[in-house]
Amino acid sequence: MGCLGFLMWILIGGLAGWAASVVMGTDDRQGCLTNILLGIVGGIVGGFLLRLAGFHTRPGIFASFLTAFIGAVLLLAIFRRR
């Protein structure tokens, strides 16, 4: 993975984490770094769960964003219950 791939992880993860925090109502309590980490971990979790359910996403920015967004929303929902 090159430098551009790493930067895309940060960019897509940050946007997906921020969008998930806005949807879940936690955006006022999170910072930029938390949104980036949430989006990256959400992408990993979302990709795992989508593959487990039999869905195979196509490569691309929109599919990556959507996968990370779904995973981030699920993570926020789990941590909100605690």
C-alpha to C-alpha distance for 16 and 35, rounded to whole angstroms: 8
Q: Residue 18 is encoded by which pair of tokens?
A: 């921020």
**What pLDDT was estimated at residue 82?**
66
pTM of the model as a whole: 0.86
Task: Let me know if residue 1 belongs to a domain.
Answer: no
In one-letter notation, the amino acid at residue 2 is G
Q: What confidence tens digit (pLDDT) does each residue in 13-69 have?
A: 999 999 999 999 887 777 889 999 999 999 999 999 989 998 876 778 888 899 999
Give the domain extent around 14. Answer: 6-80
List for the chain the helix, strand, coil content (%; round to 5). Answer: 80, 0, 20
pLDDT at 1 over 70: no
If one counts the domains in the chain, the total is: 1
